[in-house]
Amino acid sequence: MYRPLADKIRPTTLEEVVGQQHILGKGKILNRIVEGGTISNMIFYGPPGVGKTTVANIIAARAKKKFYKLNATNASIKDIQQIIEGLDSFDGINGVVLYLDEIQNFNKKQQQSLLEFIEDGRITLISSTTENPYHYIFKAIISRSTVFEFKPMQDSDVIKALVRAVDILKEDHKNTTIEVDDKALNYFSASSNGDVRKAINGLEVAINSTNPNSEGIILIDEEVARDCTQSKVFNYDMSGDSHYDILSAFQKSIRGSDADAAVHYLARLVKAGDIQSICRRLMVIASEDIGLAYPNAAMIVKACVDSANMLGFPEARIPLAQATLVLATAPKSNSVVSAIDAALQDIEQVNIGDIPVHLKDAHYSGAKALGRGIEYKYPHNYENNYIKQQYLPDNLKSRNYYVPGKNKNEKVIFDYWKKIKE
C-alpha cells in the first residue's frame, strides 16, 4: 500500500525529530517526560507540520498503556464511549493513552465527556491543536493538562528533514540516481513557511514527476522545485489566532513607528485578501495612536480606505500601503483614547451626579420656571469666544480626562488655551 513520504520518514525517536529544541532539547521538560516514561495529560499547540503528532506518537510508544488515536475532525461521542467501555477490560487495566488530534474541533459537550476519566487517571490525554487552546479548549481540561507550544520550523531544520527524506527516497529508487541540489532544498524550505510536511510533499511530487535525464539521473534543481511547489504556505484563519496575531503586530508596528515592519504585516494581510480587517484597523489606528498629533491622518486614511474598497485587490494594496506609511511615519499620541476611556471608567465606577442646571435644555415653555439655562453664559458673547463656567457635574468638576500628548500639534493647542484661560 502506498505511504506518503511524510509518513514514511516520520521519526520514531526524539533524536530523529528536528526543531522544537525549546521543549525537546536535552534537559528540556518534554524531553525529560519522554525519557522518564511517565505520562501526564498534555496539549500540543502549534501550526501544522511542526512535529506535534510525531512527538505524541513517540511519547505514546514509551507508555505501557493501551493506545488509542482519534481525530476530532471526524470522531464523535460514540468513539469516546467505546474507549471508555474498554477501560474495565484487561487491556485497560493500566489505563489508556488517548491521542486526540485537532481537539479544537470537539465541542464543549464532547470535551466534557472525557473529564471524569482524565481526572481519575484512567485516561491520559495527549491532544494537539493548531488553535490557541486557551480560546478553544474547555477550561477544565486545560487545568488538568500541561500546554506545550510548538514553534514554526527554522529553514535549517526543514532542510535537515528534507535531506533525510532524500536518503530514504534513494533507498526506494535503488536503480535510479536521485540528486537534489542545495538551491532546490532551500526553495522547498522557504516555500513551506516552517511546515515540514509541506516541504516533504513538494519534494515527493518533484521526484515522482521528474523523468531521469540521459545519464539516468533524476535531477531536482530550483526550476523543478518551483514547478512542483504550490503557492507558499500562509498560516491565516479569519477566525483563528493567526488573524488576530497579524493584526496585533500590524497595529503595534505602526504605533512603534516602524514603517518597514508595518508594510510587512500589511503584505501578510493583503496576501490573505483580508481587506475589511485592514481597513477597520487603519481607521482605528488613525484615532487611537495618532489622534490629535496629526488630525488630518484620519481624513487621509478614510480617503485611502474608500479608494481601496472601490478598487479591490490587487490594486487596493497601493492606497492601503499609503495609509499604512502615513500612520507609521506620523507623530503619535494616545490622548484621544486615554480621554474617552477615562470618562467611560468614571461612568462605570463613580456616582457621576446630575448635569449642571445652567447646561440643561431651555428651549421649551416652562424651562425658566425650572431654572433651566438661566445662568448659562454664551461663550461667543465674550472675548476670544471664551468665558469660564462649570461644565462637568458637581461630582466630577475637578476631573481632568484630556491630557495633551507630547507632540508639536497638541502643544501648540494647549499653549493657546492656556494663554486664553489665564
Regarding whether 142 and 169 lie in a shared domain, the answer is no
Where residue 357 sits, what CATH number does that domain have?
Answer: 1.10.3710.10
Residue 5 lies in a domain: no
Residues of the chain by 3-state class (helix, strand, coil), percent to 5: 55, 10, 35
Q: How many structural domains does the chain have?
A: 4
The CATH number linked to 251 is 1.20.272.10
- How much is the pLDDT for 231? 58
Cβ pair 155, 186 in contact under 8 A:
yes
Q: Evaluate whether residue 395 is within a structural domain.
A: yes
Predicted pLDDT at 89: 65
Angle formed by the axes of helices 317-329 and 259-271, nearest 10°: 150
Statement to judge: residues 88 and 175 lie in one domain: no
Q: Is residue 62 part of a domain?
A: yes
Report yes or no on 336 lying in a domain: no
Q: Do residues 143 and 103 share a domain?
A: yes
Among residues 104, 128, 149, the one where a domain terminates is 149
Cell 500601503 belongs to 321
Q: How far apart are CA 63 and CA 69, in angstroms?
A: 14
CATH of the domain at 189: 1.10.8.60
Q: 366: buried, middle or exposed (CB in 10 Å: 19+, 13-18, 0-12)?
A: exposed
Rounded distance, CA 277 to CA 238, Å?
9
Q: At a CB cut-off of 8 Å and minimum separation 6, what does 174 contact? A: none
> DSSP string of 29-63?
HHHHHHHH-----EEEE--TTSSHHHHHHHHHHHS
Provide the 8-state DSSP code for 398.
T
Separation of alpha carbons 64 and 379, rounded Å: 84
CATH of the domain at 123: 3.40.50.300
81 and 165, same domain (yes or no): no
Task: Kindly report, residue by residue over 354-365, the tens digit of the pLDDT.
Answer: 888 888 888 887
DSSP codes of every residue in 91-150: TTTT-EEEEEETGGGS-HHHHHTTHHHHHTTSEEEEEEESS-HHHHS-HHHHHTSEEEEP
Distant-in-sequence, close-in-space partners of 71: CB < 8 Å, separation ≥ 6: 100, 101, 102
Amino acid at 52: K
Is the Cβ–Cβ distance between 386 and 418 less than 8 Å? no
Non-local (6+) Cβ contacts of 223 within 8 A are none
Same domain, residue pair 26 and 119: yes
In a shared domain, residues 95 and 182: no
- Same domain for 412 and 322: no
Dihedral angle of Cα 327, 403, 415, 286, to the nearest 10 degrees: 20
Q: Mark which of 95, 118, 149 sits at the end of a domain.
A: 149
From residue 141, give the alpha-carbon distance in Å to each of 116, 117, 146, 408: 10, 11, 10, 53
362 with 301, same domain: the answer is no
Residue 136 belongs to some domain of the structure: yes
> Based on the domain organization, do 143 and 35 belong to the same domain?
yes
For the stretch 47-87, pLDDT in tens is 888 888 888 888 877 777 778 888 888 888 788 878 877 76
- Specify whether 137 is located in the same domain as 204: no
Q: Does residue 115 fall inside a structural domain? A: yes
d(CA 165, CA 339): 59
DSSP 8-state class, residue 362 = -
Count other Cβ atoms within 10 Å, centred on residue 28: 14
Check residue 237 and give its pLDDT: 58
State the pTM of this model: 0.65
228, 258, 280: which is the final residue of a domain? 228
Give residue-wise pLDDT tens across range 219-259.
Answer: 888 888 888 776 555 555 555 567 788 899 999 999 999 99
Per-residue pLDDT of the chain (422 residues; tens, 9 = 90+): 567 777 777 888 888 888 888 888 888 888 888 777 778 899 999 888 888 888 888 887 777 777 888 888 888 878 887 887 776 665 656 668 888 888 888 888 888 888 878 887 778 889 998 888 888 888 888 888 899 999 888 888 888 888 888 888 887 777 778 888 888 888 888 888 788 888 888 888 888 888 888 777 888 888 888 887 765 555 555 555 677 888 999 999 999 999 999 999 999 999 888 899 999 999 999 999 999 999 999 999 999 999 999 999 899 999 999 999 999 999 999 999 999 999 999 998 988 888 888 888 888 878 787 888 888 898 999 899 989 999 899 889 889 999 999 899 999 999 998 898 88
The answer to whether position 344 is within a domain reads no
Maximum separation of any 2 CA atoms in the chain, in Å? 107
Residue 343 falls inside a structural domain: no
Kindly state whether residues 252 and 365 are assigned to the same domain: no
Whether residue 36 is found in the same domain as residue 127: yes
User: Which pLDDT belongs to residue 1?
Assistant: 57
Query: Which range of residues forms the domain containing residue 190?
Result: 155-228
Closest C-alpha to 10, from 202, 158, 165, 157: 165
Please give the DSSP secondary-structure letter assigned to residue 10. Answer: -
